Chain A
Amino acid sequence: MSKFARNAAIIILSAIILFPLFYALSASFFTPQDFTASEARLLPSSVSARNYMLSLSHRYFLRYLVNSILTAMLTAILRCIIVTMAAFAFTHLSFKGKRVLLIALLSTLFIPPDAMLYENYITTARLGLLDSYLGIILPSLFSASAMLMTIGAYLSSDRDIYDAAMMDGAGDIRYITTILVPLTAPVAITVFIQAFIASFNSYLWPLLVTTRPKMRTVQVGITMLGFAEEGEFGAQFAAIVIVTLPFLLLLLAGRKMIMKAISGGMSN
Chain B
Amino acid sequence: MNIFRKLPNVNKEKNIRAYLFLLPALLLAVLFSFIPLAKSFIGSFLTISQSGKVLGFAGLGNYISLFKNQAFLSSIANTARFTVFFLPLNTLITLAAAALTRKKRRYTAISEFIFMTPMAFSLSALALIFKELFRGRVSVINRLTGLSLEWLDQSGPAMAVLVILGLFLDFALDYILLLSAFRGTDKSIIEAAEIDGASGGKLFFLIELPSIKNILSITIFMALKDAVLISAPVMVLTEGGPFRSTETVMYFYYLEAFRSGNRAVENTIAVLMVVFSSILMSLISRRRRDV
Chain B 267-284 interface 0/1 with A at a Cβ cutoff of 8 Å (1 = within): 001100110011001100
* Interface residues in B16-50 (C-beta closer than 8 Å to A): 17-19, 21-22, 24-26, 28-29, 31-37, 39-40
Judge whether B229 is part of the interface by a CB distance below 8 angstroms: yes
B155 at the interface (CB under 8 A from A): no
User: Are B116 and A255 neighbours in the complex by a CB distance under 8 Å?
Assistant: yes
Q: Is A134's CB within 8 Å of the partner chain B?
A: no
Q: Are B25 and A251 within 8 A (Cβ)?
A: no
Question: Cβ of B25 and Cβ of A203 under 8 Å apart?
Answer: no
| B113/A252 in contact, CB under 8 A | yes
**Contact between A222 and B125, CB atoms less than 8 A apart:** yes
B22 touches A139 (CB 8 A): no
Number of B residues, CB within 8 Å of A: 91
The majority secondary structure among interface residues of chain A is helix
Pair A17/B114 contact, Cβ less than 8 Å: yes
Within 8 A of A (CB), among B59-100: 93, 96-97, 100
Interface string of A48-82 (1 = CB under 8 A from B): 00000000000000000000000000000000011
Known: A89-B22, A93-B14, A108-B33. A117 touches B257 (CB 8 A): yes
What 1/0 mask marks residues of chain A from 115 to 158 whose CB sits below 8 Å from any chain B CB? Answer: 11111111100000000000000110110100100000000000
Any A CB within 8 A of the CB of B112: yes
Q: A40-B138, A123-B36, A201-B123 are in contact. Are A117 and B254 (CB under 8 A)?
A: yes
A170-202 interface code vs B (CB 8 A; 1 in, 0 out): 001000000000000000000000000100110
B190 touches A (CB below 8 Å):
no
Contacts of B181 in A (CB 8 A): 263, 266
- Interface size for A (C-beta < 8 A) is 89
Q: Is the CB of B14 within 8 A of A94?
A: yes
Residues on B with C-beta less than 8 A from A116 are 32-33, 36-37, 40, 270
Which positions in B face A, CB cutoff 8 Å? 11, 14-15, 17-19, 21-22, 24-26, 28-29, 31-37, 39-40, 52, 93, 96-97, 100-101, 109, 111-130, 132-133, 138-140, 142-143, 168, 171, 173, 176-177, 179-181, 200-201, 215, 218, 225, 229, 231-232, 235-236, 250, 253-254, 257-258, 266, 269-270, 273-274, 277-278, 281-282, 285, 288, 291
Given contacts A40-B138, A116-B33, A263-B176, 14 further A-B contacts (CB under 8 A): A17-B115, A20-B129, A20-B130, A24-B125, A42-B143, A81-B24, A83-B25, A85-B22, A86-B21, A88-B21, A95-B19, A108-B33, A240-B128, A259-B179
Question: Which 4 pairs across A and B sit closest by C-beta, in order of nearness?
Answer: A119-B36, A263-B180, A247-B120, A95-B18
